[in-house]
Amino acid sequence: MTSLHLNDDQFTRYLMDPDADGAEAAHLLGCTVCREELERFRSSVGSFNSMTLAWSERHSITSPSYAASRGSAEWASGWSWSVAVLMLLAVGTSLHLRIEANQVNPGIQASDSYDQNSEAEIARDNQLMRAVNLEINRKEPFPLMADNVPSQKYRQGVKKRLEVRSE
Amino acid sequence: MIRRVTRLSRINVHRGMQIAVRTSAIRLNAEASSVSELEEIDGLVRIYRPRLLRFVTFSIGDQDLAESIVQDCFLRAYNARESFRGDCTVNTWLFGIANNLIRDHLRTKKFQFWRKVRATAIDITEMVSCLPCTESSPETFLLQQEQAVQVKEALEGLSVNQRRIFLLRFSEDMSPQEISDSIGMLLNTVKTHLYRALTAIRKQLGELK
């Protein structure tokens, strides 16, 4: 019965060019065994093709040139969506914060905004700034420098030290 | 009677001319669409890059070099877009350029050196994980993975020319004549390579009697 099936040579020739008219195609129409063999081969190659195509698609997406090309194609829609979402988030957050603050202490909010611009507050700020400037500009003598110590105290100190040594 | 025949022949000539004009118009449209397709490099890369990358990677067995060749292929195609006459599809044209680049790389001493020094850089585990999950059972899925790996291993045992021709025939679905035109090889030589590649792969798959 085996001799009735396609041999390797015939099978390979059929795979090379199935469109070519030949006895192989006619045989395959009526022979289940040979058709199954053909399907097995096609299934193996099909699995290889889908696996390798998925692999190369993944690599194409991760490659910079492909990403750039995709990016430029979808640039407008992507950016517009992200900007719109960001704006919505910003507006929503600020509104939420404002409402929350008003609910907690509305009186303080109002008086604060009023006091910050009053003349008394400005005068107090100026006074504070002057005090800070004064502190910054004050010349502090360096404690270890002999020139900065008053001469009388320095002499007294030296005397004491000499006395201690002589004892 | 003679008048009728003359009239009929005139009608036929007229129809023939109309058909010829329509055919040439269709061809011109096809050429125009192909040329416009070439003008947009982004679209070109998006459509053809995955298949070109697959073809080049599995032809030469080196992923890094394949990436470089594919990049170069698109650059050349874009620079030479004016010379595209529309005699073939953009797909066939691009694969032709890729084949020329592969051939050029195969000839260089550098490629021969690196081929001896290092093995293929394609990660089989990563590749297997790429196989798209179908609705079939887990057993069938495992079987598909195994089959795919077997074909890949069988391909590695072939010469670069046999691999190229096998991939063009069974992955890109080109006829032997199209392969011959694309890679500039005689049809009989293409058939010989394909025959040997098929025999080797069927042997590896355990299908030979």
What is the model's pLDDT at position B24?
47
Contact B202 A47 (CB under 8 A): no
B21-34, pLDDT tens digit by residue? 454 444 445 444 55
**CA-CA distance, A46 to A38, in Å (whole number)?**
12
Instruction: Tell whether the model's pLDDT for residue B121 goes beyond 80.
Output: no
pTM of the model as a whole? 0.59
Contacts of B42 in chain A (CB under 8 A): 69-70, 72-73
Q: Where are the domains of chain B?
A: 123-209
Give me the architecture of the B123-209 domain, per CATH. Orthogonal Bundle (1.10)
What is the model's pLDDT at position B20?
47
Residue of B152, B148, B114, B115 lying closest to B134 (CA atoms): B148
Residue B37 pLDDT level (bands cut at 50, 70, 90):
low
Distance, in angstroms, between B84 CA and closest chain A CA? 22
Distance, in angstroms, between A15 CA and closest chain B CA? 8
> Which of B51, B126, B198 is facing A15, going by the closest CB pair?
B198
A57-115, pLDDT tens digit by residue? 887 776 655 555 544 545 555 667 788 888 888 888 888 888 777 766 555 555 555 55
B79-99, pLDDT tens digit by residue? 888 888 777 788 888 899 999
> Which of B41, B130, B209 is facing A54, going by the closest CB pair?
B130
Share of chain A above pLDDT 70, in %: 68
Instruction: Tell whether the model's pLDDT for residue A49 goes beyond 60.
Output: yes
Instruction: Tell whether the model's pLDDT for residue B196 goes beyond 60.
Output: yes
What is the model's pLDDT at position B23?
47
Contact A2 B209 (CB under 8 A): yes
Which residue is it, tokens 């990016």? A71
Structure tokens at B49: 């890059």
> Which of B46, B54, B147 is facing A69, going by the closest CB pair?
B46
User: Would you tell me which residues 25-84 of chain B have a C-beta closer than 8 angstroms to some C-beta of chain A?
Assistant: 41-43, 45-46, 49-51, 53-54, 57-58, 63, 67, 71, 74
CB-CB contact of B159 with B60 (8 Å): no
**CA-CA distance, A31 to A20, in Å (whole number)?**
18
Quick one: DSSP state of residue A3?
Answer: G
